[in-house]
C-alpha cells in the first residue's frame, strides 16, 4: 500500500511512525531507531509528513525535505484532541497523522539553520541582559545597606561600565574587606 500521509512521533532514540493511504486506511505502523529514521523514510514515495513541533523537529523536517517529502510541523496543542485513549508513542503518531491531514489547520513554519542560529543568539542576548540587570540590582541593594545610593538600573549611571557604579562597588568591597579582615 502506498503511504500518502505519515505521522512521526519524535523521541530521543525510538521514533514511532504511522502512515495512511489515500483512503485513510493504515498502511504503515512501525517503530524505528534514530539512526535508521532518514533511511526508512527515504525509502517511501514522496508523501506528507507531520510531526509535533519540538526541539529537534526543525532538523528532521529539513532532512525529510532533502529526500523529497512535504513536511508540516504542528503545535502539540492541536494534536492532543486527536489522541485516542491513553497516550503512548503509537497513538501519538496516529494523532499527528490525523491532525496534519485536517484542512484549515495552522502549522509551525519551517526554519533554516541560519534563522535558528539567529533566534538562539537573540535568546542568549536577552538572557544575558536579564542576568546583568539582576546583578546590578543586587549590587545596588547591597550598596543601599551602607547608604551608598547609585542611580537605578534604567539610567546610564547604573551600567556596570559607568564610573559611579565602579566607584561604589570598589568602596563597598574595600569597606567589607576591612570589616572582615
Structural domains for the chain: 5-110 (3.30.420.40), 114-180 (no CATH)
Q: Contact 15/36 with Cβ under 8 angstroms?
A: no
- Has this prediction a pTM greater than 0.75? no
Residue-wise pLDDT tens digits, 27-84: 999 999 999 999 999 999 999 999 999 889 999 999 999 999 999 999 999 999 888 8
pLDDT for 4 beyond 70: yes
Residue-wise pLDDT tens digits, 82-101: 888 888 888 899 999 999 99
**Euclidean distance between CA atoms 137 and 134, whole angstroms:** 5
Amino acid at each position: 500500500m502506498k503511504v500518502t500521509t505519515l505521522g512521526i512521533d519524535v523521541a530521543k532514540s525510538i521514533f514511532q511512525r504511522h502512515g495512511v493511504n489515500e483512503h485513510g486506511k493504515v498502511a504503515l505502523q512501525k517503530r524505528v531507531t534514530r539512526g535508521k529514521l532518514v533511511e526508512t523514510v527515504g525509502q517511501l514515495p514522496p508523501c506528507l509528513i507531520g510531526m509535533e513541533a519540538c526541539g529537534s523537529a526543525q532538523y528532521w523536517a529539513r532532512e525529510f525535505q532533502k529526500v523529497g517529502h512535504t513536511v508540516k510541523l504542528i503545535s502539540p496543542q492541536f494534536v492532543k484532541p486527536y489522541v485516542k485513549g491513553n497516550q503512548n508513542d503509537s497513538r501519538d503518531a496516529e494523532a499527528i497523522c490525523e491532525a496534519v491531514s485536517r484542512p484549515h489547520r495552522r502549522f509551525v513554519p519551517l526554519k533554516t539553520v541560519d534563522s535558528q542560529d539567529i533566534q538562539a543568539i537573540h535568546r542568549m542576548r536577552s538572557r544575558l541582559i536579564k542576568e546583568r540587570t539582576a546583578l546590578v540590582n543586587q549590587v545596588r541593594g547591597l550598596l543601599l545597606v551602607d547608604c551608598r545610593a547609585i542611580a537605578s538600573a534604567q539610567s546610564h549611571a547604573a551600567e556596570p561600565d559607568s564610573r559611579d557604579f565602579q566607584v561604589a562597588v570598589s568602596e563597598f568591597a574595600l569597606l567589607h574587606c576591612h570589616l572582615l579582615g
